[in-house]
Amino acid sequence: MTLSNDALAVAVEVATLHGLRVGSPHVLAKGAALVVALEPARVVVKVARSGLARELAVVRWLAARQLPVVAPAAGMPPIVHRRGGWELTFWQRLAGGPGDPGVAGAALRAIDEALAAYDGDVKRGWSKAPPGLPAVVGETIAAAERAFAGAPLRPQHGDPHDGNWLGGRWLDFEDVRMAPPEWDRACLLFCSEADGDAWAARVAAELPAGDRARTEAAIRLRAASSAIWGASRGDHAHVERRVAWLTARRAATPASCPP
């Protein structure tokens, strides 16, 4: 999806129609959705062509169970708003950095445990490598699918990292997915091992270790997924870094070894 000034204009228009004060919209991120901070309303709006209903449904389900998630914005109907071909969701804007990793890890563990009972829509399966990426990416995805065969699957956050923990709450459930129980921990271990993120390693320590071989396969799959994400943004340097790390990992660490 190509995000445009039109998406930003729609965000401001819908917010204003609902009585929010919007003096200085500020783009926070451009990815699958455009993420905009609306000031001084202290609200964050996501704008996308599709796909926001899944995230909103799971967050409302978790919030109803008093779990630590960033909730929909007060004063706005907690629905997917639709206007001009765009979907929009409105969220609380919280301040603060990553904070205590032990607290973040305990919160993520509680969320993942609760999600075992969630029967709503979640992502299933894994992205395929687009043409043009090195063969190691597609090979890694295929190897992970083999490693996961027969594994118990359950819904999980799907994308835990320090940017998705804010003000003592987890956010960004766009990638909530059905996965082996090692997935969220593997995402954090990948951040730790590929990027030297000590915070992520400490969060991962709060999650169950699970199966070693599946954990290793999931770490590698996370690297492959990161390369695909970089390719979707045209970030060739990011793709090269992830492919280099993945190639070295495969050479140094047999798939059956612990991370």
The beta strands (E) that lie in the chain are given as: 26-30, 34-38, 43-48, 81-83, 86-92, 154-156, 165-166, 169-170, 177-179
pLDDT at 254: 64
pLDDT at 30: 84
pLDDT at 255: 56
Fold observed for domain 101-252:
Aminoglycoside 3'-phosphotransferase; Chain: A, domain 2 (3.90.1200)
Task: CATH number for 5-92: choose from 3.20.20.70, 3.30.200.20, 3.40.50.450, 3.40.50.1820.
Answer: 3.30.200.20
Q: What is the CA radius of gyration of the chain?
A: 19
Residue 81, SS3?
strand
pLDDT at 32: 78
pTM, rounded to two decimals: 0.93
Residue 257: pLDDT over 60: no
**Which amino acid would we find at residue 139?**
E
Structure tokens at 3: 């995000």
The residue extents of the domains of the chain are: 5-92, 101-252
Phi then psi for residue 34, to 5 deg, are -85, 125
97-226-44 Cα angle (round to 5): 40
Question: Which residue is associated with the tokens 């890890």?
Answer: 105
Q: What is the pLDDT of residues 145-199, one digit of tens each?
A: 999 999 999 999 999 999 999 999 999 999 999 999 999 999 999 999 999 999 9
Judge contact between 34 and 27, C-beta under 8 A: yes
Taking alpha carbons only, the member of 178, 210, 205 closest to residue 191 is: 205
Alpha carbons 178 and 13: distance in angstroms, whole number: 35
Chain centroid offset of residue 173 CA: 6
